[in-house]
Structures are given as C-alpha cells and as structure tokens.
Amino acid sequence: MNFKLTGRNVEIEEADREYCLKRLGKMEKIVSQILDVEVVVSKERFTAIADITLKSKIALFNAKEKGKDVKSALNALFDLLELQAKREKEKLTTKKKKKEESPVVQEESLREEPTLEVSDSFSTKPITLKEALGFLKESSETVYAFKNIDNGYFTVLYKKGKKQTAIIEMKG
C-alpha cells in the first residue's frame, strides 16, 4: 500500500500519521487489497479540512470532511470512508447473490400461476366491427369483446403492438 499524507498550511504531526495508518488498518479489513492512499489536510481560518483518495481493487473512494482541528477532521473523514466502503462491499455481495439466484428465480416464475385480470371492456348489445375498433382505440384497454352484428359471432379484438389489432371470432 502506498500511503501519502500531505499538509497544506498546517504541520502534520507524527501522531496524525500514526492515527491515519491505524484507521487504514481497520479499512483493510473492510476493503481488501488497498493499493494507494492519499490524504491531504489543510487549514482555513478556524477549520481543518481533510480529503482522502483511496484506490483498491474493489473501487475508488473519495471523501472530504471538515473539523475544528486536524484530529476531528481525520476522525470524521475515516468514519465517512468506512461507511462508503461498507456500502460498496454490500453492493458487491448483493450482486453476487442475485447472479447466483437468478436462474432459480426464473424457474420459479415459470411455475407461478398466471394472474387473472377481470375487465369490463365488452359490449352486451350487438355492434359492428367498425364501432368495436373505435371503442378499442379510445380506451386504454388492450382487449375488447362484443357480439358482431354482421355475422352473429362472438368476437374479441386485441391490440398487437402499437399499430396492429387482431381479431378472434367464435361461432355459437
């Protein structure tokens, strides 16, 4: 692991360097294989600002925090960084679980009972095919059933895509 601690407008003490290394040791337990770490601490008036860039094999993490002094800024910075790392690790584990479970989920969805949807999109009185097409186009339904006045058949119209309509006619 390459570690670099830089101070801008502030002297970096050995205790701060040791604190950073200690917290990075805890981070290695969460994020395996840390490659590069760069911490920049700066002082502006009455606040200390800590900024970190951590590169690992999993991801690249960036965080920036303010505090009253250098120690409090570093503490808040590493707390935020741990939170980011835990979230990223959780994302990776859930992706692995989903990947492993996906074929099983597909098989289960094939075995599920189809849902039955009741629609009131039908005509009780006989109408022409042209009128039925008009009703289907006006409504948001995808299916329209009616008794065709021209041939006496029970007829079902349904939308096939955006511009196509299909017809099913049943005798009797």
In the numeric block, which tokens belong to residue 119? 């629609």
Q: What are phi and psi of 155, to 5 degrees?
A: -125, 140
Contacts of 150 (CB under 8 A, 6+ apart): 128, 129
Q: Which residues of the chain have pLDDT under 50?
A: none
Query: Does an H or E element contain 78, and which?
Result: helix 70-111
Number of neighbouring beta carbons within 10 Å of residue 56: 20
Tell me what pLDDT residue 164 has.
86
| Total-model pTM | 0.54
Tell me what pLDDT residue 109 has.
55
Residue-wise pLDDT for 104-154, tens only, equals 555 555 566 777 666 666 667 888 988 888 888 888 788 888 888 888 888
Tell me what pLDDT residue 102 has.
56
Hey, is 151 helix, strand or coil? coil
Q: What are phi and psi of 116, to 5 degrees?
A: -105, 120
Domains and CATH numbers, the chain: 2-109 (3.30.160.100), 129-170 (3.30.505.50)
In the numeric block, which tokens belong to residue 27? 């981070």
Q: Which residues pair with 34 in a beta bridge?
A: 56
Question: CA-CA distances (angstroms) from residue 57 to 53, 85, 126, 129?
Answer: 13, 12, 70, 65
